Amino acid sequence: MELLRIHKALADETRLRLAAVLCSFELNVGELVGVFGMGQPRISRHLKILAEAGLLECRREGLWAFYRAAQSGPGLDFLQRHGALLQAIAPHAQDRERALCAVRERAHATRRFFDAVAGQWRDLSREVLGDFDLAEELAGRMRPGMIAADLGCGPGELLACLAASARQAIGVDGSPRMLELAGARLAGSANVSLRLGELEHLPLREGEVQAATLSMVLHHVNDPHAVLAEARRVLAPGGTLLVAEFDRHDNEAMRVKYGDTRLGVDKETLYDWLQSAGFSPRRVDAFPVNQGLVVLIAEAALSEPSGPTTL
């Protein structure tokens, strides 16, 4: 019956094209409408059929729905076995290029947002965090004398705290305006290096740093798995990663005012992401802040944890 359901679901050219694209990308319904040039009701109907056949998964982010190929079960097995045939569909090359453009535009929109709000970012952050000093909390968990990197450093508030005790502090960000403000804040700090680059392709050598932070970053990026994999690559053996994230929430206003792509990440998902990227999570702590939000701070290492994990 599984095979019959799958074959019936794929007995349509549009659904074949959707399945082929979503084997490589996770896209929301609006993006798929643009990629395929079809109306939203038609796209949604095809997605529903594919999802009911177990070929697609739907991830809800508040009012948004993102679709990707199944990650488990018979649907995954089928797509893996027949991926080459799906990619051989005549329109696939064009579909894939349009999907890639949609993902790039999402990343460019995030960069434009941060360039635009860079000067007000500290005030925007304070509206949410209130009296909770996230930079001090993260910096206080670092051992002095390390080579540390703040991945997605923004205007450099956390980087300045790291630089106070680190042997070298490296800040990476994809927003030129954010790096400009970080440079002004840290002018004269001989142990600070600022680098422009994407978090999915860090401008750092393999094993270059002993500690890294991803502070309020993962809910902005398209591919958290790629970002965590890069963080692992640049960490030396035994290195430490600190991740600060909002816990899962339903505050849709965060998309508009703060440029959020995801409405937070729950503890279990964050733990799974870290494990999948090759980290050993040690603990996840929760800190209530403003607007009913909660900040999670996860500590992870490249070696086995010395004690039990606390969730």
Same domain flag for 86 and 224: no
State the residue range of the domain holding 140.
130-301
Domain assignment of residue 41, yes or no: yes
The tens digit of pLDDT for each residue in 139-169 reads 999 999 999 999 999 999 999 999 999 999 9
Confidence at 307, pLDDT banded by 50, 70, 90: very low
Domains: count for the chain? 2
CA separation for the pair 72, 55 (Å, rounded):
9
Same domain flag for 70 and 141: no
Residue 310 has pLDDT above 50, yes or no: no
Same domain flag for 297 and 200: yes
Same domain flag for 187 and 239: yes
Q: What's the pLDDT at 160?
A: 95
C-alpha separations of 185 from 19, 137, 148, 192, 292 in Å: 48, 20, 18, 11, 31
The residue-averaged pLDDT of 210-228 equals: 94
Same domain flag for 6 and 73: yes
Percent of the chain residues past pLDDT 90, beyond the cut:
71
Domain assignment of residue 7, yes or no: yes
Domain ends where: 41, 72, 106?
A: 106
Residue 25 sits in a domain whose CATH number is 1.10.10.10
Give how far the C-alpha of residue 240 lies from the chain's centroid of Cα atoms, to the nearest Å.
19
Same domain flag for 284 and 153: yes
Domain assignment of residue 115, yes or no: no
Residue 260 sits in a domain whose CATH number is 3.40.50.150
Confidence at 211, pLDDT banded by 50, 70, 90: very high
Domain assignment of residue 293, yes or no: yes
With beta carbons less than 8 A apart as the criterion, state whether 148 and 240 touch. Answer: no
Residue with tokens 């040039």: 37
The tens digit of pLDDT for each residue in 9-18 reads 999 999 999 9
Residues contacting 97, CB < 8 A, separation 6+? none
Same domain flag for 143 and 232: yes
Domain ends where: 106, 138, 158?
A: 106
CA separation for the pair 111, 72 (Å, rounded):
33
Same domain flag for 210 and 152: yes
pTM higher than 0.85: no
